[in-house]
Chain A
Amino acid sequence: NAGVTQTPKFRILKIGQSMTLQCTQDMNHNYMYWYRQDPGMGLKLIYYSVGAGITDKGEVPNGYNVSRSTTEDFPLRLELAAPSQTSVYFCASSAGVNYGYTFGSGTRLTVV
């Protein structure tokens, strides 16, 4: 019953550093999503994928990149981290566009 697994849970980055947030799901879902949530705010879609090899930009893609080489994995790459990227990042997956999402437990990122 793993569902959606995100690593790491916490990370502190220095300005200009890079890192990859990992997301994997074991439900064989084609659809996967990355969101960020700033304190007291709603979810903002960064990138999404409708299947292996297919990705597309969401509402706030600048400063991020993704890849989807397998159905299970959907890593999010931060290049040249900036303080504005301090946030909680959630990965989610679903069986289709009209289905509910299963979320991972999140990665809490601080850029200093």
Chain B
Amino acid sequence: RKEVEQDPGPFNVPEGATVAFNCTYSNSASQSFFWYRQDCRKEPKLLMSVYSSGNEDGRFTAQLNRASQYISLLIRDSKLSDSATYLCVASGGGADGLTFGKGTHLIIQP
């Protein structure tokens, strides 16, 4: 069974701090990885893709460790607007598409 496991949190973090999430995936055949952001009562939205070499987009950095089958997301200088649920996602290799983790809830406190 294809699974993506995440710590559900919540992570309570003061504004301006750095916070990191990890997730693990079970399907060694997964080819593509993503982080999605979901605000309360809204649809998930793509935050960033995760590449083998690691990638950065402003305050956000994503890393992939294929050997250990885990993905990480680092948020620097956190803002109040970063409060959301972050979904870790891995491709399943089949037509049924991506496998979503249940999400990590982040609360940025003033």
A residues neighboring B (CB under 8 Å): 31, 33, 41-43, 45, 48, 50, 56, 58, 88, 90, 94, 97-106, 108
Chain B residues within an 8 Å CB radius of A56? 95-96
Chain B interface helix/strand/loop/mixed: loop
B residues neighboring A (CB under 8 Å): 31-32, 34, 41-46, 49, 87, 89, 91-98, 100-103
Tell whether A100 pairs with B97 under 8 Å between CB atoms, given A41-B102, A106-B43: no
Q: How far is the CA of A108 from the CA of B42 in the complex (A)?
A: 10
CB pair A105–B42 under 8 Å, yes or no, is yes
Chain B residues within an 8 Å CB radius of A90? 43-44
Chain B residues within an 8 Å CB radius of A31? 95, 97
CB nearest neighbor in A for B48: A100
CB nearest neighbor in A for B45: A103
CB pair B96–A100 under 8 Å, yes or no, is no
List the 6 closest A-B pairs by CB distance, nearest first.
A42-B102, A103-B43, A98-B32, A98-B91, A98-B31, A43-B100
